[in-house]
Amino acid sequence: MSAPARKPVHVAVYDTLADWETGHATAYLARAGHPVRTVGPSADPVRSIGGLRIQPDLALADLRPEDSALLILPGADLWDTSQDLAPFARAARAFLDAGTPVAAICGATAGLAREGLLDDRAHTSAVSFYLAATGYGGGEHYTDADAVTDRGLITAGPTEPVAFAREILGLLGVYEGEVLDAWYRLFHDSDAQAYDVLEKAAAR
């Protein structure tokens, strides 16, 4: 009897998205058998800050929390220069209300702050005063850490894509315990000994 199909992980894509922030997470989610689907403001192509043209798999209006394992929100210049991405912050609220986790990095954390989603959760971002500039009410819950997970919400700053991925892989059970730690040490610290741990785990 085959294992039940896993729900897809949805990665938000929009113009000016920071394309370096989600690669570690999506690569290892896909390797572990999690379908990865992109969701845009519409079905029209978008272009990342690095100039990559991305054709979304579906439009945000067609995304439902019950059909997803996780919503990933990367940073983008648009988070701080317009209200164009506010619908993605509202979608994050719907996901969390439905019990489906959300992961936000870089400017997406500011979008969630403006939506009020960080007012009562431990969280992090680039720096505390970046989020304080949004006028949000969660400053006392800001944590100076590479990445933070609290009640289904992962946050990280723009310099921590590997830690961001670590929290995602741990939350979805791709890696656990010493294997998750080894994965992080390999890609964050270039620790050669960590590779041996991963090889032994893959052989089991």
Q: Could you give the residue numbers annotated as active site?
A: 106
Catalogue the E-assigned strands of the chain: 9-12, 36-40, 46-47, 53-54, 58-59, 70-73, 102-105, 147-150, 153-156
For residues 22 and 76, what is the distance between their CA atoms, to the nearest angstrom? 12
Contact between residue 109 and residue 49 where contact means Cβ atoms under 8 Å apart: no
Contact between residue 99 and residue 39 where contact means Cβ atoms under 8 Å apart: no
For residues 156 and 150, what is the distance between their CA atoms, to the nearest angstrom? 12
For residues 150 and 164, what is the distance between their CA atoms, to the nearest angstrom? 13
